[in-house]
């Protein structure tokens, strides 16, 4: 099997390569923009055939000169910063790039799996159903979510969901996220805060129906995510747009307590105000409706928040193992 993984040095992309290697797949083309940062470290210990800059890859797709003949392209590369304000950049990098790859895969009969986002659901007032009837009604809160939503709409209008698969990732955490700076998960941030101060800082609630730290998210472990991606690569009949979470919303307090427990330390939580920049864009509740993916045939169980945090903290963070490939 030959697989292209865009965003292959990123968080979920490098975790997928780790999964592919564990399944005996090494004929992998890594597509990314490594730059001068430390993202390359996510590739250490992993096996792949070649690496290619994302711009060169896009050009080869447009000119149909790709020398690596993929059975599947898993498109995980994107700007994932929810605070990014450059709309032109997001349209080009997140929407048009995805559209070009999808069109090429449909024309060549290549399996295409891409990353959408739970950010497409906006404030959640329209629920979290991945039904094709609901998708056109969604209103993302930020430009990142909108850039993802635009391709979901394009795929729906073009009839691509008969042949491709998209995943609306909810709150993913786990090894290989270390390069993400301000976008790291709250699990990693909590671990760092506990090490530095002995306490975790969480946002106060501005809504009376939610206590401080009682805001809820659907937290999903990256190892569970790559299991789903592997299944989709090998199950072309499972096409469409799917949620990817656990289907169980948990509070930020639950998450913090799970980190304290995994570190063997007593819980100590401090509450701070939500920054003004986030107040009108903050989601108080997310929970993936997982019925569509289950109906498509995915039957594996997801780890609980406590199980996943325990694995992450005890087998990686506490042992200073930064990457799946070297653990």
CATH number at residue 239: 3.40.50.720
Region 192-196: what's the mean pLDDT? Answer: 97
DSSP bridge partners of 51: 30
pLDDT > 90: what percent of the chain? 83
Q: Return the pLDDT at 321.
A: 80
209-234 confidence digits (pLDDT tens): 999 999 999 999 999 999 999 999 99
In the chain the first and final C-alpha atoms are separated, in Å, by 25
pTM: 0.95
Q: Does 208 fall in a domain?
A: no
| pLDDT score of 99 more than 70 | yes
Examine residue 212 and state whether it is found in any structural domain, yes or no.
no
> What region, left, alpha or beta, does residue 124 occupy, with left being phi > 0 and alpha being psi -120 to 50 degrees?
left
Distance in angstroms (rounded) separating the CA atoms of residues 52 and 324:
21
Dump the DSSP string for 93-158: IIIIHHHHHHHHHHHHT-EEEEEEEGGGGTTSTT-----TTTGGG---SSHHHHHHHHHHHHHHHH
Domain annotation covers residue 292:
yes
Per-residue pLDDT, averaged over 110-139, amounts to: 95
Q: Report residue 313's pLDDT band, with 50, 70 and 90 as the boundaries.
A: very high
Q: How many domains does the chain have?
A: 1
Confidence of residue 85 (pLDDT cuts 50, 70, 90): confident
Residue 19 in any domain: the answer is: yes
- What does the pLDDT look like over 5-33, one tens digit per residue? 999 999 999 999 999 999 999 999 999 99
pLDDT mean over 40-53: 96
Determine, yes or no, domain membership for 125. yes
Per-residue pLDDT of 141-191, as tens digits, reads: 888 999 999 999 999 999 999 999 999 999 999 999 987 777 899 999 999
Determine, yes or no, domain membership for 207.
no
Q: How far, in Å, CA of 110 to CA of 100, rounded?
A: 13
Domain that holds residue 28: 3-173+218-248+285-303
Question: Residue 206 falls within a domain, yes or no?
Answer: no
Confidence of residue 37 (pLDDT cuts 50, 70, 90): confident
Letter string b/e over residues 148-159, b meaning 16 or more CB atoms within 10 A of that residue's CB = bbbbbebbbeee
- Is the pLDDT confidence value at 327 over 70? no
pLDDT grade, residue 126 (50/70/90)?
A: confident
- The answer to whether residue 75 sits within a structural domain is yes
In this structure, are strands 171-173 and 250-251 parallel, antiparallel, or unpaired? unpaired
Q: Which helix (H) or strand (E) holds 61?
A: helix 54-62
pLDDT of 229 reads 98
pLDDT mean across residues, the chain: 94
Specify the pLDDT at position 182.
Answer: 76
**Across-strand partners of 111?**
72
Q: What average pLDDT score do residues 193-200 get?
A: 98
Residues known to be catalytic? 144, 180
């Amino acid at each position: 099997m030959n697989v292209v993984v865009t965003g292959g040095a990123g968080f979920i992309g490098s975790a997928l390569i780790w999964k592919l290697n564990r399944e005996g797949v090494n004929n992998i083309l890594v597509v990314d923009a490594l730059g001068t940062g430390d993202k390359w470290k996510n590739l250490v210990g992993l096996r792949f055939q070649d690496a290619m800059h994302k711009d060169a890859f896009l050009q080869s797709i447009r000119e149909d000169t790709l020398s690596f003949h993929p059975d599947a392209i898993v498109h995980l590369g994107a700007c994932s910063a929810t605070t990014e304000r450059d709309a032109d950049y997001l349209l080009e990098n997140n929407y048009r790039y995805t559209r070009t790859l999808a069109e090429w895969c449909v024309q060549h009969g290549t399996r295409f799996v891409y990353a959408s986002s739970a950010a497409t659901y906006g404030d959640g007032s329209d629920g979290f159903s991945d039904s094709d009837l609901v998708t056109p009604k969604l209103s993302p809160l930020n430009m990142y979510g909108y850039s993802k939503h635009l391709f979901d709409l394009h795929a729906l209008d073009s009839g691509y969901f008969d042949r491709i698969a998209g995943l609306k990732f909810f709150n993913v955490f786990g090894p290989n996220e270390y390069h993400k700076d301000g976008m790291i998960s709250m699990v990693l941030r909590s671990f760092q805060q506990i090490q530095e101060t002995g306490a975790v800082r969480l946002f106060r609630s501005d809504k009376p129906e939610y206590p401080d730290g009682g805001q809820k998210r659907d937290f999903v472990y990256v190892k569970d995510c790559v299991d789903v991606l592997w299944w989709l690569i090998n199950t072309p009949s499972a096409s469409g747009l799917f949620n990817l979470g656990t289907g169980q919303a948990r509070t930020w307090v639950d998450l913090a307590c799970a980190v304290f427990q995994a570190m063997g330390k007593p819980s100590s939580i401090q509450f701070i105000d939500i920054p003004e920049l986030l107040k009108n864009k903050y989601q108080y509740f997310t929970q993936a409706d997982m019925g569509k993916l289950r109906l498509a045939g995915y039957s594996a169980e997801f780890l609980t928040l406590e199980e996943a945090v325990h694995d992450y903290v005890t087998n990686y963070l506490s042992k200073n193992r930064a990457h799946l490939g070297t653990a």
